[in-house]
A and B are shown apart, each in its own frame.
Chain A
Amino acid sequence: SQQGEEDPQALSIQEGENATMNCSYKTSINNLQWYRQNSGRGLVHLILIRSNEREKHSGRLRVTLDTSKKSSSLLITASRAADTASYFCASRLTGANSKLTFGKGITLSVRP
């Protein structure tokens, strides 16, 4: 079963609106990361939140983590057409050699 699962699977919004994407996971994590993928290209790391953090910001990105609910949200404020992409959450379990487990991704379309 998937360690990280995103919700919704697809999201379509108007330019200027905020986009909220959610990720749930099953077991205790060391950190949770969000990545972006433009169509057919490699993933690019956006932001990371550690298990002892509740909220982080980076430019127009805000990520929250609720370890009691085993969930994270990524908020993109004032979206732009260039934000159109797929977004993946990736969770890293505790343990020195644990690896990232990626979710299936959310397709975000921002209409001009």
Chain B
Amino acid sequence: DADVTQTPRNRITKTGKRIMLECSQTKGHDRMYWYRQDPGLGLRLIYYSFDVKDINKGEISDGYSVSRQAQAKFSLSLESAIPNQTALYFCATSDLMVSTDTQYFGPGTRLTVL
């Protein structure tokens, strides 16, 4: 089984809808991240969490919110989706005890907002 899983893998939604992307991990890592990837722009950090009670904004947090329900789960919500949020979204984890912050990625969620 994959260590970092994301659901759904693909989602098409309409402008104004609320949508939640979920991430689960079995690696036992404390740190979890949400990124979005757009063609030509690389990966941009949306939110990250170093512990269950810790939530931090990343580079592009506007229009997004997150919830860290447990060490293993980190959800990303789009309260009112808009077309420019169409992108590939990745969850990643890293081990707090490893100083290098090497990250392990999920398979991604392809989101299309019409």
Give me the interface of A with B, judged by CB distance under 8 Å. Answer: 2, 30-31, 33, 40-45, 48, 50, 88, 90, 92, 97-100, 102-105
- Contact across chains for A105 and B108 when beta carbons are under 8 A apart: no
Assembly CA distance A50 to B100 (angstroms): 8
Q: B-side binding surface: helix, strand, loop or mixed?
A: strand
Stretch at the interface among B12-20, B37-45, B64-72: B37-45
Which of A45, A99, A105 sits near B102, CB closer than 8 Å?
Answer: A45
- Contact across chains for A40 and B100 when beta carbons are under 8 A apart: no
Q: List 28 A-B contacts (CB under 8 A).
A: A2-B42, A30-B100, A31-B101, A40-B88, A42-B90, A42-B92, A42-B105, A42-B107, A42-B108, A43-B90, A43-B92, A45-B104, A48-B100, A48-B102, A50-B100, A88-B42, A88-B43, A97-B50, A98-B101, A99-B33, A99-B48, A99-B58, A99-B101, A100-B101, A102-B42, A102-B43, A104-B41, A105-B42
Q: Give the one of A40, A42, A43, A105 with max B CB within 10 A.
A: A42
Give me the interface of B with A, judged by CB distance under 8 Å. Answer: 4, 33, 35, 40-43, 45, 48, 50, 58, 88, 90, 92, 99-108, 110
Q: Which residues of A contact B33 (CB under 8 A)?
A: 99
Q: Which residues of B contact A102 (CB under 8 A)?
A: 35, 42-43
Q: Which residues of B contact A33 (CB under 8 A)?
A: 100, 102
* Given contacts A40-B88, A40-B110, A104 and B103 within 8 Å (CB-CB): no
